[in-house]
A and B are shown apart, each in its own frame.
Chain A
Amino acid sequence: MQFPAIWVQLACCSGCSISVLNTESPSIKNVLIDHVVPGRHVNLRFHPTLMAGSGDAALEVTEGAESEGGYLLVVEGSVPTREGGVYGGVGTLGGKEVTMWEKTCTLAKSADAVIALGTCAAFGGIFAAAPNPGGCKSVSAVLAEAGIETPVVAVPGCAPHPDWFVGTVARVLLGGLPGPEDLDDLNRPKEFFGSLVHERCPRRADFDAGKFAPRLGEEGCLYLLGCRGPVTYSDCPERGWNGGRNWPIGNSHPCLGCVEPEFPEQFSPFFEKITVERLEQFFVRSR
């Protein structure tokens, strides 16, 4: 049974796509070719990096989807909105240039649901950092302004762990859209974003014992080097990265907090430690 998906790339770096290609179990072949859950096949009808067709033939797929409905929209990247959106085009159809802004709205309107994949789509992210030259905004902000009420699930990360995305898609296929009880106040699935990195960090004992790495390249708790673990909700300490081979703190690099709305703007400078004063610059959220 078909489960159509349309994946668009806006003001992005493609890192989210590359990360999702790294899904291990299921593999990306399982996701795209096989029935990733019994009886359901994800039919990825549009993805600029992978799809066979180009130009008008490719964009017409999005128009077809918009008129049929019943698909999942995945958005990678933030929406450039300065000067009417001219800083980002998705393509030219029938001689007319289509902005990312316009295409995001028309696709979201007819979709069953939207996954805002990556910190850029979810919260604005890197290209929305000051001075935000392209006027980049999150998907939710743009849809809210346009009065489009299609539900949006945020799966942030810079880049997001493939498990977070594939897990969210599997949840939708097996049990429908996550309800409010499954999502936090930023619309992130609690399953993946429910506890602080600091709460599960293997180096927590060093923090508690006051053993801090004094400079980059040294062992110990990375708090003094700017670790954002204490303010970052993600399961990286348990899940690990790239098949569990490693993860940032495991590589003696402070957590950058890349799943949070504060990444990168409020968390910059990255290597300056969290203080009470700096905490006030971060958005205080309850779980």
Chain B
Amino acid sequence: MQRIVIDPVTRIEGHLKVEVVVDGGVVKEARTSGTLFRGLEMILQGRHPLDAPQVVQRICGVCPTVHCLASTLALDEAFGIAGQIPDNGRILRNLILGANLIQSHVLHFYHLVALDYLDLTALADYEGSDPDLKSLRRFLAEGELGPFLPRPEGDYRLTKEENRALALHYVRALDVRRLAHEMSSIFGGKMPHNVGIIPGGVTAGPTVATMTSFLWKLNDIRQFLADAYVPDVLTVARRYGDHLEQGKGPGRYLSYGYFAQGPVAGPLAQRRCLLPSGLVSGKGKVAEVDTSAITESVAHSWYAEGTDGAPAGATTAPEPKKPGAYSWLKSPRYQGESCEVGPLARLQVAYARGEEPVRTATDAVLTELGVGREKLESTLGRIIARALECQMVAEAMAQWVLMLRPGEPHCVPFSIPEEATGVGLTDAPRGALGHWLRIKGGRLAGYQAVVPSTWNVGPRDARGAPGPMEQAITGLPVRNPEQPVEVLRVVRSFDPCLACAVHLVTVRGRDLGMFRVL
């Protein structure tokens, strides 16, 4: 029996420690731990409400736009304007977000995940004429190999040609994600940390010039997604078919809905989204999401007790020396059970609801790989779902940009009430995201966010039930405990964002029942 500690886990966002117990070549127990605490809710306390979207963007530099949006949606609701956002405003918010989703997913597969499967030594004897591959060959020959060495000595199964194609796309993808940020900035002002999304809509309206510029960068990217990203993911899936048989999480999938196609108001079930909200469990049945069913446990988290169940009453405070605790993350639960969130969850919900183009795109890939849909509940299944989603969103964006109307309103005015509450719910690249806020005396009296990676990477709850990632790792075969590549591949398949997961600390006096939870 061996206890292995991997700390830091690299090629993720943020600070994560994973501890596994391996016995007889199989993981018997897994613990995931967020190792940084920053406390943004405490920092927001007492601040002016309008500061919130900009402050919360700094939760994460990879996915800042969704936090800005969730905060802004909560303010829209608090200011009583949630149903009044003009179409230009709604669409521009979606385009700013969509461009960053593309950036995030492309970054994830190529620059975070690929090195687990890509053997760069395949470039050492390259004799072709592609300039990027030639510079990689020269780079290898010169021997100054950071950040590609040291590397996991795992199993690299791609052929030489497949490795070369993946390496080439790794380099091209650096440009693609930069281009995606240029797109986001056309309407968002700058990236990272956009300055376009505000309560009421966006700061600036579209012009024909900005629409055209956005569309043609998008077209370049759509080409890359079709010719490189999706095919590369399928190449890896064919060589690592066993990774479609392992790494399954709890098998419960949650989404709040992504990319509003109509007013963001009313119950989640009534909101039209590109990717719908829902909870899928067991035999693929879909339930509507009831946010009052969300609770958080701190049983194994470095926070004082008092917030199991629906959070209420006593202040919680960081307790870094709390016995039995092992993470700065809390454990969100839905009806007391863990849920997986992210692209796979959204695909499961959309598929169960019979949504197109999700059904057709998913079935096409499953046919190509010759596997059933249950194989998507796996390490590589998550990666496939992310690639399909990226392509779907990019295709939809090409339609949305043409729906913009230059000269028509892009925002509505607002006034800030002395007392109000608001909730902002949206899915994000990594999963379901919610921001809850309370205004009193014209200032923020409470702020709470339950973020995607907390759902996925949180520790055991009060019943000792593991979080989704912990569950996905448990039972995993590990060929070489000195090089637990299988564990790291599962971890990275979730695309964890620890900066997002750990920012929250206190639910000071907040009772979910007090909010107009939809």
User: Does B42 belong to the interface (CB within 8 Å)?
Assistant: yes
Judge whether A217 and B195 touch: CB under 8 Å: no
CB distance from B387 to the nearest CB of A (A): 20
Judge whether B198 and A58 touch: CB under 8 Å: no
Selected interface stretch from A22-30, A183-191, A204-212: A22-30
User: Binary interface profile of B, 491-506, with partner A (CB < 8 Å = 1, else 0)?
Assistant: 0000000010000010
CB distance from A143 to the nearest CB of B (A): 20
Tell me whether A271 and B61 are in contact in the complex, defined as CB-CB below 8 angstroms, given that A55-B5, A92-B5 are known contacts.
no
Residues of A within 8 A of B142 (CB): 41
User: Does A266 belong to the interface (CB within 8 Å)?
Assistant: no
CB distance from B71 to the nearest CB of A (A): 13
Judge whether B320 and A52 touch: CB under 8 Å: no
Which of A59, A86, A131, A248 lies at the interface centre, i.e. has the most chain B CB atoms within 10 A of its CB? A248
User: Binary interface profile of B, 94-133, with partner A (CB < 8 Å = 1, else 0)?
Assistant: 0000000000000100011001000000000000000010
Selected interface stretch from B43-51, B247-255, B377-385: B43-51
Residues of B within 8 A of A194 (CB): none
User: Binary interface profile of A, 21-51, with partner B (CB < 8 Å = 1, else 0)?
Assistant: 1111001110011100000010111111111
Judge whether B42 and A131 touch: CB under 8 Å: yes
Judge whether A50 and B193 touch: CB under 8 Å: no
Interface residues of B in 160-212 (CB under 8 A from A): 171, 174-175, 177-178, 181-182, 184-193, 195-196, 198, 200-204
Judge whether B175 and A27 touch: CB under 8 Å: yes
Partner of B150, one of A57, A134, A264: A57
User: Binary interface profile of A, 112-127, with partner B (CB < 8 Å = 1, else 0)?
Assistant: 0000000000000011
User: Binary interface profile of A, 210-228, with partner B (CB < 8 Å = 1, else 0)?
Assistant: 0000011100000000000
CA distance A268 to B505 in the complex (A): 22
Judge whether A51 and B146 touch: CB under 8 Å: yes
CA distance A63 to B136 in the complex (A): 27
Judge whether A44 and B36 touch: CB under 8 Å: no
User: Does B152 belong to the interface (CB within 8 Å)?
Assistant: yes
Residues of A within 8 A of B181 (CB): 18, 22, 242
Residues of B within 8 A of A33 (CB): 135-136, 139, 171
Residue of A nearest to B179 (CB): A243
Tell me whether A245 and B185 are in contact in the complex, defined as CB-CB below 8 angstroms, given that A14-B60, A126-B43 are known contacts.
yes
Selected interface stretch from A145-153, A167-175, A250-258, A278-286: A250-258
Residues of B within 8 A of A48 (CB): 8, 10-11, 15
Tell me whether A44 and B147 are in contact in the complex, defined as CB-CB below 8 angstroms, given that A15-B64, A51-B10, A54-B6 are known contacts.
yes
CB distance from B273 to the nearest CB of A (A): 25
User: Does A144 belong to the interface (CB within 8 Å)?
Assistant: no
User: Does B216 belong to the interface (CB within 8 Å)?
Assistant: no
CA distance A45 to B148 in the complex (A): 8
Judge whether A92 and B7 touch: CB under 8 Å: yes
CA distance A17 to B14 in the complex (A): 11
User: Does B479 belong to the interface (CB within 8 Å)?
Assistant: no
User: Does B149 belong to the interface (CB within 8 Å)?
Assistant: yes
Report the interface size for chain B: residues with CB under 8 A from the other chain. 86
CB distance from B208 to the nearest CB of A (A): 16
CB distance from B301 to the nearest CB of A (A): 14
Judge whether B43 and A127 touch: CB under 8 Å: yes
User: Binary interface profile of A, 256-280, with partner B (CB < 8 Å = 1, else 0)?
Assistant: 1010000010001111100000000
Judge whether B198 and A19 touch: CB under 8 Å: no
User: Does B393 belong to the interface (CB within 8 Å)?
Assistant: no
CA distance A24 to B328 in the complex (A): 36
Judge whether A21 and B177 touch: CB under 8 Å: yes
User: Does B82 belong to the interface (CB within 8 Å)?
Assistant: no
Tell me whether A242 and B182 are in contact in the complex, defined as CB-CB below 8 angstroms, given that A52-B115, A133-B37, A133-B38 are known contacts.
yes
Residue of B nearest to A226 (CB): B50
CA distance A214 to B197 in the complex (A): 18
Judge whether B42 and A253 touch: CB under 8 Å: no
Judge whether B204 and A15 touch: CB under 8 Å: no
Judge whether A134 and B175 touch: CB under 8 Å: no
User: Does B55 belong to the interface (CB within 8 Å)?
Assistant: yes
Q: List 7 A-B contacts (CB under 8 A).
A: A33-B171, A46-B146, A97-B7, A127-B39, A217-B198, A242-B185, A245-B185
Chain A contact residues, CB within 8 Å of chain B: 2, 4-5, 9, 11-19, 21-24, 27-29, 32-34, 41, 43-55, 57-61, 80, 83, 86-92, 95, 97, 100, 126-127, 129-134, 136, 158-159, 215-217, 241-243, 245-248, 250-253, 256, 258, 264, 268-272
Question: What are the 3 A-B residue pairs with the smallest beta carbon separation, nearest first?
Answer: A15-B61, A133-B39, A251-B189
